Structure 1
Amino acid sequence: MGQGVADEVVFAVVESVTQDNGAGLKQSDERYDEDYYLMVNPDVVNGIAAGYFENGYHHYRLHGRDEGRIGAPVFDAAWYCRIYPMATTDIESGRARDAWDHWQRIGRYRGYLPNPGAPRPENPSRLAARFGGLWTDAPDADDTIAGRHAIGVLSDADAELLRNWISNGYVILPGAIPAHLLDAACTDLDRAYQGGMPSLLFQCLSLSPNDMPWRPEINARPAKALDLHWHSQATRDLMFAPAILRFLHLIFERPPLASQSLGFLRGSGRPAHQDTAYVVYSQARRFAASWIALEDVTEGAGELAYFPGSQRAPDFVYADRYKSLHEAMRMNIAGGNSLREAEEEHGRTIIRHAEEHGLREERLLAKAGDVLIWHADLAHGGRPISNNATRRSVVTHYCPADVAPLSFEAGRCDLRRHGTSGYYSTVVY
């Protein structure tokens, strides 16, 4: 199991242990650390690979505790605080509850030891997630934020946004879009759904499995205007709005490339999914997406829903190797029912993980001009549509400009500049 997966399990276990995990184990009774348990119990690693256990804690709860296996390294809190004075500083400033909490979430990624005789990892702050990620996915990202804040590179507000991004997998920017950009984009979206952009294609699976030009029947159904930004200057101005651009600069540290957009008149009604299965780049997890409300969203209009913290879930892997359906198909892995069944299992895995780790679905009843920016692996979808209300909105997927959308490899490599803001391309035209 990679460190990225283990980190997710550690955080989930510590939280559940603090309350009650259903087996009577509380943090005050004993400690558990996933990385340590897997390191000293290679047979458990093999059992996880064979599918017998979800993770190390699953084994520990069922068998390990009764077998006398040790769940965590010996932790010498007094030695730890004496030897690592910055740990004491962090605890006093509120970054950690106590020495143990500090070592689990912060110190271990600095190379701090839990006791004088413990072995030191070779590269404690490595980004070990199997499919990579942004700098905010690194184990020591919180230290990076704190350091940049301390030297004045990050403002208080930006540092808080980044911490929320790391913890939840998304940020909300209320009222982030100026009225003139909002009005112009809304006008172009309405024009698109009135047939005013003849070359614009739509996806409406209830009418056709293929992309199609606008037809009046589309407007009453869940549908997407595909790469609306390719046809609309107002949409491009919208998706590069200053507040969005500022946050993308924080997480990308370079100009962004907008590679795909979806224009919605109504909610999608799509079940929970992770974009990494469908939106593909040369680096699988180095992208983000924005959702921009063009009007106030009412309950029952197919509002956006998401599971905070789900970006840290273990990777769902297609054909034992690939992060996306696209890559599995590109490498000629057997398709048809096997990949469709895997896709359905991916959806079930998202819900199962949320239930097992206490991740609660949140819904966004946004106001016009609000923006949600989410992590590539945040599980999200659209709530069922129960009324006739519209949900005008635009979704855009972005990557750092030096990362390649895999649509380039299909020949759609027309790269254009949007003023001084960044770049844009298309996956459709």
Structure 2
Amino acid sequence: MSQASETIDDVAATAAEAGVGAEAGGDDNFDEDYYLAVNPDVLDGIAAGYFVDGYHHYRLHGRDEGRMCAPLFDAAWYGRVYPMVAMDIERGRATDHWDHWRRIGRYRGYLPNPAAPRPENPSRVRARFGGLWTDAPDAADVIAGRHSIGTLSDRNAELLTGWIKDGYVILPGAIPAHLLDAAGTDLDRAYQGGFAALMFQCLSLNPNDIFWRPDINAKPAKALDLHWHSEAIRDLIFAPAIVEFLHLIFERKPLASQSLGFLRGSGQPAHQDTAYVVYSHARRFAASWIALEDVTEGAGELLYYPGSHEFPDFVYGERYKSLHEAMRMNVAGGNSLRDAEEQHGQGLIRQAEHRRMAEHRLLAKAGDVLIWHADLAHGGKPISNNATRRSVVTHYCPADVAPLSFEAGKSAIRAHGEAGYYSTVVY
């Protein structure tokens, strides 16, 4: 582990000197997917935290070991036998034949040369733990196809394309004023003790969930599943613009399984929700963050790393996507899993630095919505002033996917009109 950590910065620096991004590998012909497919032992090393990605291994070991970093590519043959290639390049979907095969053609089953073996399922989801249809490598083709036959509007095609690339979408001013005002009133009521049964998480006061008390309001805290108690919050989290986008990525009605109501920023370090928010299908969910007021600098604004949803999986206990599942199956002692949790968080920052991904922060306006992928690395900036950051976070899944709170006995489910369903992990 230590050897890999010490050399990550060196790898990124070498790639920078070569004039290309670390994702491209610093070698014009390096292909990450190919390298991992023909070197499964490298995947094990990445899961164990020894390497950031396949290119990291290639620079440290693979090149000297004589491992091939890309398939043989016959550009003339490729362009001749697949007529859609020229059309895609003309439309701006690829820059040349190699770029087309690397990002598009391989997932259609196009071969890089006439002697190459054909993959069994070229468009299967690459992530070990699956995902939504937008995680399939041919999702861009699906979007382009639906757009061309008129079943996807220009705006929604653009949103989905951004979702695939960045792992999030921002919907400015998506919440109507009447929904915003009603939800804000109920959030304020919650932080005045107005919901007697409502529980809060405030780790600086108590490691366990607690009922409201006045000193909560000065601390980073979360009102747990306020949507279970407040119709106004339910109307907010099922606002039409949110439901419309969830329909696009889920292709069925959503289930809101958990919500967190914030008076102040969380100050939470960068993390991936898949480590903590657990469903029967590990990566088949999404989350929304809704601003109930304008966010000012220093108020613990949201931070995130565009594209980080495609980081290699961090695996707990050598098998599980979530910390919860590893603990449930008792695959290791508590201390070692907590160490792994810390390594996971630190690894996200290293991944971002290695790929030269800039940290983004969201200085949202009231009514703005951020919807993010289950694996997007995100958190909260440190709080440096006394400003509030009134907002609501909600986790959603397709209605047929089960939050694992169901297995713990919290299996009540209710309909919110025709918009979708909601449940609770607390009550």
Q: By how many angstroms is 1:47 displaced? A: 6.2
1:198 aligns with 2:196: yes
Aligned to 1:303: 301
Is the contact made by 1:20 and 1:26 (CA closer than 8 Å) also made in structure 2? no
After superposition, where does 1:165-176 map in structure 2 within 5 Å? 165-176=163-174
Q: How far does the alpha carbon of each residue in 1:164-222 deviate from its partner, in whole angstroms, 9 at most, with x for none?
A: 00000000000000000000000000000011111111100000011111100000000
Is the contact made by 2:134 and 2:249 (CA closer than 8 Å) also made in structure 1? yes
SS class of match (2:200)? strand
Q: 1:24 to 1:334 in 2, by over 3 A?
A: closer
Q: 1:333 to 1:92 in 2, by over 3 A?
A: same
User: Which of 367, 378, 383 matches 1:385?
Assistant: 383
Is the contact made by 1:228 and 1:235 (CA closer than 8 Å) also made in structure 2? yes
Q: By how many angstroms is 1:325 displaced? A: 1.4
CA distance in 1, matches of 2:49, 2:378: 26
TM-score (norm 1): 0.92
Is the contact made by 2:226 and 2:261 (CA closer than 8 Å) also made in structure 1? yes
Q: Aligned letter for 2:244?
A: R
CA distance in 2, matches of 1:128, 1:24: 20
CA distance in 2, matches of 1:260, 1:62: 43
CA distance in 1, matches of 2:23, 2:422: 52
Q: By how many angstroms is 1:363 displaced? A: 0.1
Aligned to 2:395: 397
User: Which of 89, 99, 119 matches 1:101?
Assistant: 99
Q: By how many angstroms is 1:22 displaced? A: 8.7
Percent of residue pairs identical: 78
Is the contact made by 1:270 and 1:382 (CA closer than 8 Å) also made in structure 2? yes
Is the contact made by 2:271 and 2:348 (CA closer than 8 Å) also made in structure 1? yes
Aligned to 1:156: 154
Aligned to 1:4: none
Q: Aligned letter for 2:266?
A: S
Q: By how many angstroms is 1:383 displaced? A: 0.3
Aligned to 2:8: none
SS class of match (2:155)? helix
CA distance in 1, matches of 2:420, 2:233: 14
Aligned to 1:420: 418
Q: How far does the alpha carbon of each residue in 1:390-429 deviate from its partner, in whole angstroms, 9 at most, with x for none?
A: 0000000000000011111111111000001000000000
User: Which of 224, 227, 241 matches 1:226?
Assistant: 224
Is the contact made by 2:257 and 2:396 (CA closer than 8 Å) also made in structure 1? yes
Name stretches of at least 5 consecutive residues in structure 1 with no aligned partner: 1-12
CA distance in 1, matches of 2:358, 2:83: 37
CA distance in 2, matches of 1:22, 1:255: 42
- Mean CA deviation greater in 315-324 or 34-43: 34-43
After superposition, where does 1:242-253 map in structure 2 within 5 Å? 242-253=240-251
CA distance in 2, matches of 1:64, 1:248: 42
Q: Aligned letter for 1:376?
A: A
Q: By how many angstroms is 1:326 displaced? A: 1.2
Name stretches of at least 5 consecutive residues in structure 2 with no aligned partner: 1-10
Aligned to 1:31: 29
TM-score (norm 2): 0.92
User: Which of 341, 365, 368 matches 1:367?
Assistant: 365
Q: By how many angstroms is 1:284 displaced? A: 0.6
User: Which of 198, 215, 222 matches 2:213?
Assistant: 215
CA distance in 1, matches of 2:328, 2:44: 30
CA distance in 2, matches of 1:237, 1:331: 37
Q: Aligned letter for 2:271?
A: H
CA distance in 2, matches of 1:125, 1:41: 19
Q: By how many angstroms is 1:36 displaced? A: 3.0
Q: Aligned letter for 1:364?
A: L
Q: Aligned letter for 2:257?
A: S
CA distance in 1, matches of 2:308, 2:93: 22
- Mean CA deviation greater in 235-244 or 70-79: 70-79
The root-mean-square deviation of aligned C-alpha atoms, in Å, is: 2.4
SS class of match (2:95)? coil
User: Which of 347, 352, 355 matches 1:354?
Assistant: 352
User: Which of 328, 332, 353 matches 1:330?
Assistant: 328
